[in-house]
Amino acid sequence: MNDDEIATNYADILLRIKEIRAQAIEHRLVAKQLANERRGLMETLIQQGVSQSQIARELGVTRQAIQKMLAR
C-alpha cells in the first residue's frame, strides 16, 4: 500500500466512523422518544385503573421492569 492509498483508506474510515456516530445519535433520540411514548401510554392505563402487574403480564415482563420504564 502506498502513501496515497493509506491516506484514502484513513479518510474513508474516518468518514464511516462519523456516519456511524451520527446514526447512533439519531437512533438514541428515537429510542428516547419511543420510551417517552411508552411511558405515557402506561401512565394512561394506570390512570384507568390497570395495575402495573397487569401491564407486566400483558407485556411479558416483570412488574419491576414496568416500574423502571415508568421511572425514566
Q: Per residue in 36-63, pLDDT tens?
A: 999 999 999 999 999 999 999 999 999 9
Q: Rounded CA gap, 50 and 33, in Å? A: 23
Cell 397487569 identifies what position? 54
Q: What is the pTM of this model?
A: 0.76
Q: What is the pLDDT of residue 8?
A: 80
Domain that holds residue 25: 3-71
- Contact (Cβ atoms closer than 8 angstroms) between residue 38 and residue 69: yes
Residues counted in the chain: 72
Domain count, the chain: 1
Q: What is the grid cell recorded at 62?
A: 416483570
